[in-house]
Amino acid sequence: QVQLVESGGGSVQAGGSLRLSCAASGLTFSSYTMGWFRQAPGKEREFVATITWSTGFTYYSDSVKGRFTISRDNAKNTVYLQMNSLKPEDTAVYYCAANPRSRVVAADYWGQGTQVTVSS
């Protein structure tokens, strides 16, 4: 049974930082591209960042590029999202995903999400 468990969400003031973690189990983590998505109230889920399984290549949405960093530790079966210079518009539920698709919001597996709230 595959499980993706996010942690690290919370409330922070604009300009602050948070680091999200996603611990994976039940899959060969090192063979999966991993990603982060987010969904704000009343909006559709959107792509945030992804990191490949083979080369560790990273890709970001324009809205977070330069502020967020995705990384992974295959020994710990964990993917991270370091979020700096947070803005109120970053407020959303953040979801971890295994093997996300490149052009649609879909993935083999999803976590349950963790809430990030940024106040101005």
pLDDT at res. 103: 77
Q: How far apart are the first and last CA of the chain?
A: 40
Residue 103 CA, distance from chain mean position: 17
> Shortest CA distance to 22 belongs to which of 65, 67, 82?
82
Per-residue pLDDT tens for 1-60?
Answer: 999 999 999 999 999 999 999 999 999 999 999 999 999 999 999 999 999 998 899 999
What percent of the chain stands above pLDDT 70? 100
Residues β-bridged to residue 82: 19, 69
116: left (phi over 0), alpha (psi -120 to 50) or beta: beta
Q: Phi first, then psi: what are they for 38, rounded to 5°?
A: -145, 155
pLDDT at res. 107: 95
What average pLDDT is seen over the chain? 96
pLDDT at res. 102: 81
What percent of the chain stands above pLDDT 90? 96
